[in-house]
Structure 1
């Protein structure tokens, strides 16, 4: 079976571990289904897997890819939910201490076939193309949960997205605009800020620049480099929703501002199967077209990984089969 996989962990030079070749076809356990992959999207998580983060050494070789869309044996088109929980867990699977993701314990989506628990194959709405659907399961689901489950924002309120061009950031811009928020975005370059404006941002600002007024919520995936700005940008009683820390995980907390202005800091990780189904319905009904920065055949995956590592590609990178 054709696949793109990590041969071994390589913390210093992750792309040296990236391998394109043949892997054994998967077995299908009871309660699981086989999906023929049509398209799959790249995430930072895949680079972390190549580095050996979040995966045990004895799990290699590991087929990469958390996200994807494809077809069941009966022809049903599905979108893949990458959070795999304990079968005995009840409730929000992101809170399951034994949860895992595709590529951490189970083989991923960068292959001709992938097997997932039956509930993780979510029907694809007809209003989404396969390529569009393939980006929903990680970055877009993370953005959806941050905005609609965690932030408490109402239409008409102002949201600030720190970072203009990543997968979660572009999803937040498009979802926020479609939901009636006033969307502000920061970005390091004019090019990245222009992308955010094209996607629906009402205003964009250079990273760290003082805003015209304070906002109701800030959406953080950057961490140390933007944290101080995020804290200063909030109205009293406002909320920062955090789902990542790409520039460093230990920013100064600014506790005096936190308690004096009664700010909230809320963590958010991925999303549930039900949230993914709601996200798919919302994107389809709202006519949102996810930003695809690069689309490549899967046998050219090396080029896509290099583009993500260099950080110059806006939106999502998708591999097709």
Structure 2
């Protein structure tokens, strides 16, 4: 079958490992289902896989793609939940120490067919296209959990999103606006700030700018480059919800401010199957049009990977069949 895959780990030149070609058709274990893929979206995780991060060398070649949407054999439209846990685990699967993501142990979604546990094929609500649904499983699910499970924000409160144009950031802007928050965003360029405003941000600011007032919660995925600003921007008793550190983890914790202002710092990783189902229904009910910055045929995946590697993102990058 056709697939986009990492042939081998390449830490220094990840695109040299990217291959568009043929892979064997997958077998379907008992309790799993085959999904005919209609669309798959690109995540930073895929570049890490190409570099060999989070995957053992003997697991290559690995079909890329955590996220996707497609169709079961009976015609049911589904969205892929990429967190695969221990079948014996009960509760929040993001806390399962044996959990894994597609592309770490199991082959991913950038192919004609992907095979997942039956519970990981979540019905797709009417009103969401395959391309729209394909962006939900990682970036949008991460944003949903940060906002609705972790932050404790109420409609009418003010949230700050650090970084204006990535997949999680654009999802946070659109979800926050739809949920009735006052949404503020920082961005490095006028173009990125304009995108945030187009998606519903009430105000945008240059990176590191002093804000008119402190916010109720900051949503942080950048790390070292923005952490100090996040700590200065949140009100006493407010929260910083962190899902990543794309600029590096070497952040100044600013512990005096942390304890004196009683700031709550909470980590957030991906989301559960139930959160994905709720997210899909919320997006459909609210009529949200997820921001897709670049849509390409899967055969032209290299162009999308290059855009992400060079930081030329404006929403999600989606590959379609």
Q: TM class by shorter-chain length?
A: over 0.9
User: What is the Cα deviation at residue 147 of structure 1?
Assistant: 0.1
Pair 1:51-2:31 in alignment: no
Confirm whether residue 224 of structure 1 aligns to residue 221 of structure 2. no
Give the structure 2 partner of residue 122 of structure 1.
Answer: 122
The aligned runs of 1:1-321 (5 Å cut-off) are 1-321=1-321
Matches of 1:270 and 1:246 in 2, distance apart?
15
Q: TM-score, normalised by structure 1?
A: 1.00
Number of residue pairs matched?
Answer: 321
Gaps of 5+ in 1: none
Deviations 1:40-84 (A, max 9, x none): 000000000000000011100000000000000000000000000
- 1:20 and 1:130 map into 2 onto residues whose CA distance is 21
C-alpha distance in 1, partners of 2:128/2:253? 41
Q: CA deviation at 1:250?
A: 1.9
Cα RMSD between the aligned structures? Answer: 0.3
| Cα deviation digits, residues 112-134 of structure 1 (max 9, x gap) | 00000000000000111111000
Inter-partner Cα distance in structure 1 for 2:248 and 2:3:
32
Secondary structure at 1:201 match in 2: coil
User: Secondary structure of the residue that 2:86 maps to in structure 1?
Assistant: coil
Q: CA deviation at 1:313?
A: 2.0
Aligned equivalents of 2:200 and 2:83: distance in 1? 30
1:197-236 Cα offsets, whole Å, 9 max, x none, are 0000000000000000000000000000000000000100
Q: CA deviation at 1:312?
A: 1.4
CA distance in 2, matches of 1:144, 1:171: 8
**C-alpha separation in 1, matches of 2:287 and 2:310:** 31
Distance in 2 of aligned mates of 1:179 and 1:49: 34
CA distance in 2, matches of 1:87, 1:28: 16
Secondary structure of residue in 2 paired with 1:240: strand
